[in-house]
Structure 1
Amino acid sequence: MGWALPLLRVVCLCSLLAVARPARPANVSIGALFTFDSVIGRSARAAIDLAVADVNRDARVLRGTHLSLVAQDTKCSGFVGTIQALQLMEKKVVAVVGPQSSGIAHVVSHVVNELHVPLLSFAATDPALASAQYPYFVRAARGDDSSQMAAVADIVTYYGWREVTVIYVDNDYGRGGVDALGDALEAQRAKVSFKAPFPPDADQAAIADLLVRVTMMESRVCVVHVNPDSGLAVFAAARSLGMMASGYVWIATDWLAAALDSTRPPNPRAMSLVQGVVTLRQHTPDSGAKTSLTSRFAAAQLNRTATLNAFGLAAYDAVWMAARAIDEFLEDGGNVTFSVDPRLQQEVNGSSTLRLDTLRVFDQGEQLLQKVMLANFTGVTGGVRFSADGRSLADPAYEVLNVGGTGVRRVGYWSNHSHLSVAAPTPLRIKTNSSQQQQEQRLYSVIWPGETTSPPRGWVFPNNGRPLRIGVPYRTTQKQFVSKDSGPDGASGYCIDVFKAAVALLPYPVPVSFILFGDGVKNPSYSDLVNKVANNVFDAAVGDVSIVTNRTRVVDFTQPYVESGLVIVSPVKEKSSNAWAFLKPFTLGMWAVTGAFFLFVGAVVWILEHRFNPEFRGSPREQLVTIFWFSFSTMFFAHRRTL
């Protein structure tokens, strides 16, 4: 019986521990906050209901505690969403799944910060929500618009485009995405050349007016970042304006994939509007759990055509994330209690008639938030764990889709560590061969708008742009270089021909307008012409402008294409067959002067030689003949001393 006493002590210690640990509550409530009647909401609502049922059915989670759901409809309104969030907090929920809107998430985050309730959003992708201002906001989605816009920037760079036009809804979601796109493009040495925002409640006419301005821009690469419920109106207006034809590039963020995935079969009218569009979809690897959930979702819809999209899958995992965190919180001895916020109580005791006294602070909200951030399980969207910064799920990845015919075709993937690839992304902890990864930096062929397979050039000269103003000196001499012309250009000459040949080598059109500088009576001042270029009166100058030091201080010159020096410019004439052509270089007077000099030389030689040289003597006639003979012989004989 020596072992009886130690055993009794162990049993008593266990009993004391059991007494010290608070009993699990019979029921724990979580909230759901989203727009029920929306593309994302219809998918998320059924997925959240299925998730709550699965949690309560699984004996390994919560273990005796029933999970209740309180859902509130935000009706896609910031004001209504705020009211619904306050009403939701009256129900003493310990966590909230949602909202789907970034704008509503900004407002509701202030509420949950005050009441210490974790907010698990499955669709609010504004990067600004990840700031320290919203500590209780948890992004239960795989990545935000920063990663999504990095994927868009990689696609733009992959095809060699340098400028894009972004069309977006003018709210927190749209503006946050555009800012992220600008940063991502700047890192790739590209840029957003034109921003086209429209109000959230814009009608078809307002969108069409906006797209007319887009058609006047240079860039033909359009990125569309709007809401899934109203985004197809953009493509409807674009189609009516002829902007879905060859030459345009349309890249839509993941809202389009969510809209197309929300109905089965796809809506034929919607498919006809987005032919040739490239879009993104949050990548969720195939698994048995995903297949089972999809089939159960379809069965729960009965005769309805709604299907499960990527946001619905994220909402399902968000419920499981909350349930697992609650389970670990309770397992560690946590207790669910609520208390009155003294600041809210002061408002109630004042003149306010709002029912703020019904709101309670979740005392253990911070502890539950820490458990949420430690999530590490495999859900229907893949591995669920947070990144190092703890602001969103790790390993964001997207599928690159091309809309064509009656469906969509996957042309590649994007992830934050492999970027564009035709192979499905693998977790970062799984190392891949670097050379193989380099070879996979590509996409399959895309069918662009207008049913073309060649990547569009991506730009045209803008309709609202003005031609380059080219200053041309109006010369009165040396017109072969540059002169006035009666043709459509208004100028001609060698310099004009060289300029036109250089412009023709550019891979894009450059319309120019030649403007004569000078009155045509006298040669203009070239220094004044250069100064007009420096002062933006002319965009450039073309002509025989000398490169001198003081001019190089104010303008840039091209490399000289004519070597300077002493040159003669003369018109080319046909070669003459006249035997006396050698006489043409000298005039008659020049020949007379030359002959006189020869006679003068002969006379001088005779004066010096006739007294000593017998060959220069004789009769006057003979001496005169000798002088003429000696003078003319110098043209044909080389007189030299005989050695």
Structure 2
Amino acid sequence: MELQNVIMLLLLTINLAVAQNTSREEAQELHVGVILDLGSIVGKMARTSVSLAMEDFYAVHRNYSTKLVLHIRDSMSDDVQAASQAIDLLENYNVEVIIGPQKSSQAIFISKLGNKSHVPVISFTATSPSLSSKTLPYFVRATINDSAQVNCIASMVKTYGWREVVPIYEDTDYGRGIIPYLVDVLQEVDARVPYQSVIPLSATSEQITLELYKLMTMQTTVFVVHMSFTLASLFFIKAREVGMMNKGYAWIMTDGVTNLIDSLNPSVLESLNGAIGVEFYVPKTKELDDFAMRWNMRFQIDNPTDPPLKLNIFGLWGYDTIWAVAHAAAKVGIANATFQKPGATRNSISLETLETSSNGPKLLQAILQNKFRGLSGNIDLSNRQLQISTFRIINVVGKGWRDIGFWTAQNELSQHLNKTRQATTHLNPVIWPGESIEIPRGFKIPVSGKKLQVGVCTSGYPEFVKVEKDHITGATKAIGFSVDVFEEAVKRLPYAVPYEYVLFSTKDDGSAEDYNDFVYQVYLEKYDIVIGDITIRYNRTFYADFTLPYTESGIAMVVPVRDSINKNTWIFLKPLEPGMWFGSIVFFIYTGVVVLILEFLGNNENVRGPIPRQLGIMIFFSIFEES
């Protein structure tokens, strides 16, 4: 009996092994093209993540009847090369999904190829808002749109009270795509964009330096930098060299740079001291930590000559993208997949003869409907792109960075996650450029430019305005109450206003004719503003506008103060004259005597007794007896 059981167990084991081998041999292959820039940090990182994703997925789903076959190609950071690789994958390998390409400029043309061949194109690095599913229905963005972060940036601008911001971006589809959205949200928080700095992708150090010097001549000191990793590294090194990473400046980096902050060269990271960065927030989990350890080891094997890199969000999105495609392939299957070749004409080019995938529309729908929890968070591509989640705001300090807050669509800015929104929004303290803890005002006195011309003249009352000329420098100096009010008002402005005092010569007698002429200079545009103890008169309002009066006009008398306090004990007798006091006392005694006599004659026993008793009764009656 036991022998029979052992034989049955062996047969069952053999049958299971044969069934597994058969299922693996019969597993249908779905060819997937992967186009990356393998010479870049993101490309190398994504290749390792994609390989691990394939191993992990089929280790968990051993019995799936479909299996992805990856064809990885190098775009060499060239748009034409990327397009050429996509055509080769479609023509010679009949790929049914293309993952990538890495750049937004490459994704536009390749997505059009996907539309023509009905092959879904999924990119986890192309973030430009110019890529729209309305014109490219087969394009899916397995990452967030760049425009998703502009509300976070606008919230910071509003919180810190800045009124002007200059965007600095690279001259590519990726760089230009975010700008219209950024300008719109800044206008909503009453911040204007006086200038837009465009940096060519091939800009040399000299070109960048010249542009930085141009920015230094402007008043605005708040900048939003939206560039690729390589160009941003060179840009910030030059910004530090020209002195624009000093106190008074504020720099905000978009997620294109911040997501790769751990991969920056130490010299670049040092140049970023004081900058603020926005990045996609990924919650810490044990699963993520375990994967990061495996990823680090695999990356060293794949790139033995490269320095170690820290896994970032692009590597996680690449991993989750493979899982999304593998799930969709298992759901749709490829049993009836065919490629229909269009009727070729003589002398036709390869684009005209691209085959059309019959399985593409089903795969696209399966990818869009698939929702799961990935390493980067919740994966939901139902809107053809990842949904807005949470942004983390960091501050670069020393050779590292630290959190200063978070942004969510529900609570906007907050110091901590999962907190109810406060009446006022706060972030953790920031170490600004120049190791300053003072929030930059956003404006500074320009190196060159016109200053506000403030007309001043010595008043008949020097306490209000007194003007002096510096004989050495020739500068006009003004002091007095009116000058203090003006300077304090300028300090309270949310931006800096450069000004200089200009002397107006008068007869120094403070006559009305002098002040009429003084105010008239504003109308003649000789002065931008005049300050002083100027009375608002009807005839003067035709030539200039006046502020509300900050002093009260009128006539007053100034007299010396004399201490007339009398410290005499009998001060309470002062209100009445002595004769008045004497008459009151006599009347008081008379009233008491009359009442006492009447009560005595009436045989009232209460008024009889010793003399002190009778005196007391007399006083009582003189006060309380009713007439």
TM-score per shorter chain, which class? 0.7 to 0.9
Equivalent residue for 1:438, pick from 413, 422, 426? 422
Residue 286 of structure 1 and its aligned partner are, at CA, apart by 2.2
**1:399 and 2:388 are equivalent in the alignment:** no
Pick closer, same or farther for the CA change 1:131–1:540 going to 2, 3 Å.
farther
In structure 1, list runs of 5 or more residues that go unmatched. 1-22, 426-432, 576-643
Give the TM-score normalised by structure 2.
Answer: 0.73
Which residue in 2 is equivalent to 1:253?
254
Q: CA offsets per residue over residues 463-514 of structure 1, 9 Å max, x none?
A: 2331113456899x99999898645555879896476455565355533345
1: CA distance, partners of 2:69 / 2:42: 22
For 1:298, give the aligned amino acid.
N
Which residue in 1 is equivalent to 2:357?
362
Equivalent residue for 1:511, pick from 498, 519, 522? 498
Contact residue 39 and residue 258 of structure 1 kept, 8 A: no
The equivalences for 1:462-481 within 5 A come to 462-470=446-454
**1:104 and 2:106 are equivalent in the alignment:** yes
Equivalent residue for 1:93, pick from 91, 95, 98? 95
Give the TM-score normalised by structure 1.
Answer: 0.72
1: CA distance, partners of 2:544 / 2:339: 73
Pick closer, same or farther for the CA change 1:531–1:328 going to 2, 3 Å.
farther
Pick closer, same or farther for the CA change 1:497–1:267 going to 2, 3 Å.
closer
2: CA distance, partners of 1:391 / 1:532: 63
Residue 47 of structure 1 and its aligned partner are, at CA, apart by 0.8
Q: CA offsets per residue over residues 77-117 of structure 1, 9 Å max, x none?
A: 22322222222322221111112212222222222222222
For 1:511, give the aligned amino acid.
P
For 1:383, give the aligned amino acid.
N
Residue 191 of structure 1 aligns to a residue whose secondary structure is coil
**1:548 and 2:543 are equivalent in the alignment:** no
Which residue in 1 is equivalent to 2:380?
385
Pick closer, same or farther for the CA change 1:244–1:472 going to 2, 3 Å.
closer
Which residue in 1 is equivalent to 2:268?
270
2: CA distance, partners of 1:288 / 1:30: 30
Contact residue 338 and residue 360 of structure 1 kept, 8 A: yes
**1:313 and 2:316 are equivalent in the alignment:** yes
Contact residue 473 and residue 524 of structure 1 kept, 8 A: no
**1:460 and 2:444 are equivalent in the alignment:** yes
Residue 25 of structure 1 and its aligned partner are, at CA, apart by 7.2
The equivalences for 1:343-358 within 5 A come to 345-346=344-345, 349-350=346-347, 354-356=349-351
For 2:331, give the aligned amino acid.
E
Which residue in 1 is equivalent to 2:125?
123
Q: CA offsets per residue over residues 346-390 of structure 1, 9 Å max, x none?
A: 5xx34x5x4335521223322322221112101111111136xx1
Contact residue 342 and residue 353 of structure 2 kept, 8 A: no
For 2:450, give the aligned amino acid.
R
Which residue in 2 is equivalent to 1:163?
164
Pick closer, same or farther for the CA change 1:370–1:204 going to 2, 3 Å.
same
Pick closer, same or farther for the CA change 1:474–1:290 going to 2, 3 Å.
closer
1: CA distance, partners of 2:115 / 2:330: 22
Contact residue 465 and residue 481 of structure 2 kept, 8 A: yes
1: CA distance, partners of 2:274 / 2:505: 53
**1:559 and 2:548 are equivalent in the alignment:** yes
Which residue in 2 is equivalent to 1:593?
none
1: CA distance, partners of 2:464 / 2:247: 42
Which residue in 1 is equivalent to 2:227?
226
Residue 49 of structure 2 aligns to a residue whose secondary structure is helix
Which residue in 2 is equivalent to 1:408?
401
Pick closer, same or farther for the CA change 1:191–1:180 going to 2, 3 Å.
same
Pick closer, same or farther for the CA change 1:482–1:155 going to 2, 3 Å.
closer
Q: CA offsets per residue over residues 499-542 of structure 1, 9 Å max, x none?
A: 64555653555333455679989998988987874686643344
2: CA distance, partners of 1:327 / 1:563: 84
Which residue in 2 is equivalent to 1:322?
325
Residue 233 of structure 1 and its aligned partner are, at CA, apart by 0.6
Contact residue 530 and residue 551 of structure 1 kept, 8 A: no
2: CA distance, partners of 1:357 / 1:178: 36
Aligned-residue Cα RMSD (Å) equals 3.7
For 2:267, give the aligned amino acid.
R
The equivalences for 1:190-201 within 5 A come to 190-201=191-202
Contact residue 229 and residue 259 of structure 1 kept, 8 A: no
The equivalences for 1:557-636 within 5 A come to 557-561=546-550
**1:144 and 2:121 are equivalent in the alignment:** no
2: CA distance, partners of 1:33 / 1:440: 46
Q: CA offsets per residue over residues 165-214 of structure 1, 9 Å max, x none?
A: 22211111111222222222222222333321110011111111111112
1: CA distance, partners of 2:193 / 2:238: 22
Pick closer, same or farther for the CA change 1:34–1:531 going to 2, 3 Å.
farther
Equivalent residue for 1:450, pick from 415, 422, 434? 434
Percent sequence identity is 32
Equivalent residue for 1:376, pick from 367, 371, 374? 371
**1:217 and 2:218 are equivalent in the alignment:** yes
- Structure 1 runs of 4+ aligned residues shifted over 4 Å read 471-475, 477-496, 498-505, 514-538, 549-552, 561-565
Which residue in 1 is equivalent to 2:77?
76
2: CA distance, partners of 1:419 / 1:275: 25
Which residue in 1 is equivalent to 2:411?
418
Q: CA offsets per residue over residues 292-326 of structure 1, 9 Å max, x none?
A: 33222212123441332111111111111112122
Pick closer, same or farther for the CA change 1:46–1:440 going to 2, 3 Å.
farther
**Corresponding residue pairs, total:** 523
Pick closer, same or farther for the CA change 1:159–1:494 going to 2, 3 Å.
closer
